[in-house]
């Protein structure tokens, strides 16, 4: 269809608006087009894309510069070059012939930069980059080297000249920020790669920056057609980048047909510099090769890098379930690179690859990336029909990394089926646990874990892990990672009671604390036990029907949101660790809102999925309709009523109306709001003041967490926690709606005026009983159902302060049975808390309560008061007042308390177990959100006043 025909698909007003954008020659074209695009429907989007990809000139369109003097790393409306690969290569050939002198100078400059980098003369290297920028302009190849230097300066080292170049290149843009995170030594490259490959596709609006971002992590094109599209976009950046990409993908065309391209390609990436570059990475530790792999795209023009990445890009990859079919030429190179290495050779300490680069071989030997890729290559090539010696496989688990993210699913599944040794089978199923979404794989893993636990470890998963700790530590770690509360809930033999689940998980956290010598896991164990204690007091049956799979949601965050989040967390200031970390709250807010939308709406892991499968298509109708009707109809008490034809007719009419009302709720209301479901009760895109408050708190928490750790690795749990907080506010609407349905569902007008009179004609007394039982049954079913739409307590329950107090009392009563606080609290409101914050309150309150139980007069009431004090910073204040024993003198008690307050508290955890003032002081010292405001004798009482700063 012609360009002017595509314009006709818009109305006059929209058409004129688009023409105005395309004719305005300013720097806001892309922003204006992006805003314009967001207002269009599917058909109009297709028309817009066709118009933008047409070769007709527009005033807003720009010509690309082969040697750009300003950083070309932002989206712009470039003149489209609609040509096939042959024509595109011919254009590059002609352009290269025109600029051959400058290209040769640039090739020499790149070699000089690399030689200086290999000699570790970073200052001279930087000067050479600046000189090259001045002479030959910007390119992605130079940007890669700038970021490489920046990331390898050292943790607290900053080169202001490099920082200036990075800011000039556009640290806020996707191209630069994705490169920074790909090269950062503390980032997981698999997660970053998936994030980059999942950058939202907005067609011509961002195709250019999406392609440049991809160049770092996926330089190989999938096909000739893909290569043509790739090359077309990279050419807009600079001519040298197009030539480097062409050389890297020379297996997709005959480079000899283009002599100038071939000539320049030979000048790029001198082979004698390759090993000196590799030698800059530490081969004495396992992270050296990992760093080289992450940063190897800095040297895409080197043939050795291309050979190395054929293996790693295709077989050390989490973005696909299976490795793609390799081009025949690449497959031949790969087989020559790997040689005939066996599983045993991967672990015997000698070179296991077949190339002639000893420095790289030494780096591979110390690292884990190549081993992991070869392991996955074997599995893929054999389709899982490969045998592993148990000891070789066990040793290999300690010499590989990220296999649980990268193994080929079908091949591993086959290998697990064929494995005869139960430990080999267990290892393979553990590798599948996180990567496979197949419930059968999870079932087989649970079955073999239970079999091994009962066969050798008295039915204890913790003992099984402890037994593997010395002989198979990596297997033990895999089991710890997999055995979440959700997983344990399905181990019905190892955890037959609900109370077993938190205890097993807490014990596993304690094992991990000993194994890693990290107290963080002890805190997690404590948190699990606190939650269990609260649920024990609440006596809550954790039978909620809504749920969000945390592992799948975390994977979604890593795939879809992490690159934006990473960009926001390094997008202002220098962005360099140890210097000035500031965060772009606007982007973090966007990440949170998009994450919450997926949390609710995603059809695989979201709330919508569980409402659909568990409620709409499962239990709602059966619970509200079938169980009510069947209970009434099967009751012998009402046989005389159902024997009456007049009553039966009225009953069937009431049932039909009741069923219709229930079905209407299911069809229209139990949904996430959308254009298709305008009456849906879950509205993740709407933000009330209370939701805005939670959202603001989430942004602050994420920013603070990054400021403390300078890492995005631990942000997924925080995002999940705040998504649940937002969901609870949305679910209130759903709960209120169900409460409001009590009267409409009963159809009381018909019930009173027609059904009950028909029953009264048979037996008036029985008619009243029938009506009461029917209405009570509906009320009870709806009341029970309200609990289905609450946050699952296994995720992290919300708890009132009164409930937390009751839980601490119950814990104390386990050792001091006659402790009874008696008096109620003086609070004026029920104070609800969510998230891990109440763990702090539990720990601090438990100390005060235990002290009161041990030292106060237990025959007298324990007075307490809980209140929230508003202000710029909301505060929760807890006051506990206990009576001094008649045998004790207040002055002596006061002196004892003051003496304890004066003792050093830094090692309080070593001598104050569950109670002690020193432990309270330690908590107050470690937490900015907690203050021990008072702990002293007043009259004949001990007064404790605890103050907590609340987020929202």
Query: Is it the case that residue 910 has pLDDT exceeding 60?
Result: no
Please choose, from the candidates 191, 280, 250, the residue with its C-alpha nearest in 3D space to the C-alpha of residue 558.
191
Q: What is the pLDDT of residue 576?
A: 44
Length of the chain, in residues: 952
Q: Which helix (H) or strand (E) holds 883?
A: strand 875-883
User: For tokens 């030689």, what's the residue?
Assistant: 115
- C-alpha distances (whole Å) from 121 to each of 124, 152, 291, 641, 819 are 6, 12, 19, 97, 72
Lowest-confidence region among 76-90, 179-193, 411-425, 655-669: 76-90
- The secondary structure of residue 544, as a DSSP letter, is -
523-552 core/surface letters (b: 16 or more CB in 10 A; e: else):
ebbbbbbbbbbbbebbeeebebbbbbbbbb
Each residue's pLDDT tens digit, 728-761: 888 888 888 888 888 888 888 888 888 889 888 8
Q: What is the pLDDT of residue 264?
A: 95
Each residue's pLDDT tens digit, 263-316: 999 999 999 999 999 999 998 888 899 999 999 999 999 999 999 999 999 999
Residue 610: how many CA atoms within 13 Å on its side-chain side? 17
Query: Is it the case that residue 911 has pLDDT exceeding 70?
Result: no
Q: What is the pLDDT of residue 46?
A: 73
Q: Angle 361-363-366 (CA atoms, 0-180°, nearest 5)?
A: 110
Each residue's pLDDT tens digit, 809-834: 888 887 888 888 876 655 555 677 76
28-64 core/surface letters (b: 16 or more CB in 10 A; e: else):
ebbebbeebbeebeeebeebbbbbbeeeeebebbeeb
Query: Is it the case that residue 908 has pLDDT exceeding 60?
Result: no
Residue 35: how many CA atoms within 13 Å on its side-chain side? 6
pTM (2 decimals)?
Answer: 0.72
146 versus 817: the higher-pLDDT residue is 146
Enter the tokens of residue 340.
């005939």
Crossing angle of helices 328-338 and 369-382, in 10° steps, is 120
Confidence of residue 323 (pLDDT cuts 50, 70, 90): confident
Confidence of residue 3 (pLDDT cuts 50, 70, 90): low
Phi-psi region of 268 (alpha: psi -120 to 50; beta: other; left: phi over 0): beta
Give the alpha-carbon dihedral of 256, 257, 258, 260, to 10 degrees.
50
Q: What is the pLDDT of residue 134?
A: 94
Q: What is the pLDDT of residue 861?
A: 85
Each residue's pLDDT tens digit, 672-721: 888 878 888 888 888 888 888 899 888 888 888 877 776 676 788 889 88
User: For tokens 């807010």, what's the residue?
Assistant: 589
Confidence of residue 912 (pLDDT cuts 50, 70, 90): very low
Q: Enumerate helices (H) and strands (E) in the chain, giving the number of each.
A: 51, 6
CB atoms within 10 A of CB 676: 7
Please choose, from the candidates 362, 376, 360, the residue with its C-alpha nearest in 3D space to the C-alpha of residue 311.
376
Dist CA 219 CA 242 (whole Å): 12
Q: What percent of the chain has pLDDT over 90?
A: 31
Give the alpha-carbon dihedral of 283, 288, 293, 295, to 10 degrees.
-120
Query: Exposed (0-12), middle (13-18) or buried (19+): which is 713, by Cβ within 10 Å?
Result: exposed
CB atoms within 10 A of CB 399: 17
Dist CA 136 CA 138 (whole Å): 7
Residue 658, φ and ψ in degrees, nearest 5: -65, -45
Residue 286, φ and ψ in degrees, nearest 5: -75, -15
The predicted model gives 315-321 an average pLDDT of 85
Backbone Cα Rg of the chain: 33
DSSP three-state, residue 761: coil
Q: What is the pLDDT of residue 61?
A: 58
Enter the tokens of residue 657.
């109306």
577 versus 110: the higher-pLDDT residue is 110
Confidence of residue 591 (pLDDT cuts 50, 70, 90): confident
On average, the pLDDT of the chain sits at 84
Dist CA 672 CA 615 (whole Å): 13
User: For tokens 């295709």, what's the residue?
Assistant: 314
User: For tokens 């050479």, what's the residue?
Assistant: 128
Enter the tokens of residue 419.
């494995």
Enter the tokens of residue 740.
């409001």
**CB 627, CB 618: distance < 8 Å:** no
Residue 402, φ and ψ in degrees, nearest 5: 60, 25
Q: What is the pLDDT of residue 363?
A: 95
Each residue's pLDDT tens digit, 515-573: 988 877 887 788 778 777 776 665 544 444 677 877 778 878 876 777 677 767 763 33
- The secondary structure of residue 720, as a DSSP letter, is H
CB atoms within 10 A of CB 591: 27
Q: What percent of the chain has pLDDT over 70?
A: 89
């Amino acid at each position: 269809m012609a360009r002017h025909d595509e314009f006709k698909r818009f109305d006059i007003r929209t058409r004129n608006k688009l023409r105005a954008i395309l004719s305005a020659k300013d720097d806001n074209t892309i922003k204006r087009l992006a805003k314009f695009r967001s207002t269009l429907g599917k058909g109009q989007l297709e028309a817009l894309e066709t118009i933008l990809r047409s070769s007709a000139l527009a005033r807003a369109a720009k010509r690309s510069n082969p040697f750009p003097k300003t950083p070309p790393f932002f989206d712009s409306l470039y003149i489209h070059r609609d040509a096939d690969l042959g024509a595109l290569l011919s254009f590059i050939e002609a352009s290269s012939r025109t600029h051959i002198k400058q290209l040769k100078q640039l090739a020499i400059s790149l070699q000089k930069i690399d030689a200086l980098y290999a000699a570790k003369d970073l200052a001279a290297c930087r000067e050479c980059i600046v000189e090259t920028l001045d002479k030959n302009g910007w390119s992605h190849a130079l940007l890669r080297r700038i970021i490489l230097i920046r990331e390898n300066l050292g943790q607290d080292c900053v080169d202001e000249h490099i920082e200036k170049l990075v800011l000039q290149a556009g640290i806020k843009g996707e191209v630069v920020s994705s490169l920074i995170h790909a090269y950062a030594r503390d980032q997981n490259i698999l997660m970053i790669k998936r994030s980059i490959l999942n950058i939202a596709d907005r067609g011509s609006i961002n195709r250019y920056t999406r392609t440049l971002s991809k160049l770092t992590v996926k330089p190989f094109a999938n096909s000739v057609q893909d290569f043509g599209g790739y090359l077309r976009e990279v050419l807009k950046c600079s001519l040298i980048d197009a030539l480097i990409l062409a050389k890297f993908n020379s297996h997709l065309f005959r480079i000899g047909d283009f002599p100038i391209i071939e000539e320049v390609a030979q000048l790029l990436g001198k082979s004698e510099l390759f090993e000196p570059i590799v030698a800059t990475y530490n081969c004495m530790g396992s992270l050296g090769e990992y760093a080289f792999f992450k940063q190897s795209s800095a040297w895409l023009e080197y043939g050795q890098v291309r050979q190395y990445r054929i293996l790693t890009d295709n077989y050390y990859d989490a973005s696909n379930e299976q490795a793609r079919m390799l081009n025949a030429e690449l497959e031949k190179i790969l087989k020559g690179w790997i040689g005939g290495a066996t599983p045993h050779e991967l672990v015997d300490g000698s070179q296991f690859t077949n190339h002639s680069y000893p420095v790289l071989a030494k780096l591979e030997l110390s690292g884990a990336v190549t081993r992991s890729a070869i392991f996955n290559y074997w599995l893929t090539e054999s389709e899982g029909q490969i045998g592993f010696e148990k000891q070789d496989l066990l040793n290999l688990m300690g010499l590989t990394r990220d296999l649980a993210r990268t193994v080929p699913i079908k091949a591993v599944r086959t290998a697990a089926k064929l494995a005869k040794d139960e430990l080999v089978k267990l290892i393979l199923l553990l590798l599948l646990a996180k990567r496979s979404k197949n419930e059968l794989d999870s079932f087989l893993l649970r079955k073999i874990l239970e079999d091994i636990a009962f066969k050798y470890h008295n039915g204890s998963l913790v003992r099984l892990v402890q037994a593997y700790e010395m002989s198979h530590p990596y297997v033990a770690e895999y089991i710890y990672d997999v055995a979440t509360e959700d997983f344990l809930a399905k181990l019905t033999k190892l955890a037959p009671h609900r109370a077993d689940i938190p205890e097993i998980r807490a014990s596993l956290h304690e094992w991990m604390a000993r194994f890693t010598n990290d107290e963080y896991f002890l805190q997690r164990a404590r948190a699990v036990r606190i939650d269990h204690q609260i649920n024990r007091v609440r006596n809550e049956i954790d039978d909620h029907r809504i749920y969000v799979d945390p592992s799948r949601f975390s994977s979604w965050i890593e795939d879809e949101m992490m690159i934006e989040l990473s960009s926001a967390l390094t997008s202002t200031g220098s962005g360099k660790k140890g210097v000035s970390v500031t965060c772009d709250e606007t982007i973090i807010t966007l990440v949170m809102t998009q994450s919450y939308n997926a949390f609710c709406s995603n059809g695989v892991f979201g709330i919508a999925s569980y409402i659909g499968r568990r409620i709409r298509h499962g239990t709602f109708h059966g619970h509200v309709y079938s169980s009510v009707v069947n209970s009434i109809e099967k009751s012998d008490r009402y046989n005389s009523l159902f024997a009456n034809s007049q009553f039966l007719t009225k009953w069937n009419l009431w049932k039909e109306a009741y069923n219709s009302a229930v079905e209407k709720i299911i069809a229209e209301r139990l949904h996430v709001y959308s254009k298709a479901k305008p009456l849906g009760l879950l509205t993740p895109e709407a933000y009330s003041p209370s939701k805005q408050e939670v959202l603001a708190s989430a942004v602050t928490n994420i920013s603070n967490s990054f400021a403390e750790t300078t890492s995005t690795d631990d942000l997924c749990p925080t995002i999940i926690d705040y998504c649940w907080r937002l969901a609870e506010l949305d679910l209130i609407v759903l709960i209120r709606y169900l409460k409001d349905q009590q009267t409409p569902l009963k159809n009381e007008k018909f019930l009173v005026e027609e059904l009950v009179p028909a029953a009264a004609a048979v037996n008036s007394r029985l008619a009243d009983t029938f009506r009461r039982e029917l209405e009570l049954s509906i009320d009870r079913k709806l009341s029970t159902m309200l609990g289905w739409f609450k946050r699952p307590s296994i995720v992290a329950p919300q708890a009132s302060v009164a409930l937390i107090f009751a839980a601490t009392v119950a814990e104390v009563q386990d050792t001091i049975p006659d402790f009874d606080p008696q008096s109620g609290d003086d609070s004026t409101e029920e104070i609800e808390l969510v998230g891990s914050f109440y763990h702090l309150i539990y720990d601090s309150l438990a100390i005060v309560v235990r002290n009161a139980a041990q030292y106060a007069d237990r025959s007298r009431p324990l007075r307490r008061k809980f209140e929230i004090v508003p202000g710029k910073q909301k505060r929760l204040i807890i006051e506990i007042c206990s009576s001094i024993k008649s045998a004790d003198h207040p002055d002596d008690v006061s002196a004892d308390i003051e003496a304890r307050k004066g003792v050093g508290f830094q090692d309080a955890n070593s001598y104050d177990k569950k109670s002690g003032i020193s432990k309270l002081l330690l908590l107050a010292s470690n937490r900015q959100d907690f203050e021990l405001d008072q702990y002293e004798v007043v009259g004949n009482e001990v007064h404790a006043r605890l103050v907590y700063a609340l987020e929202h």
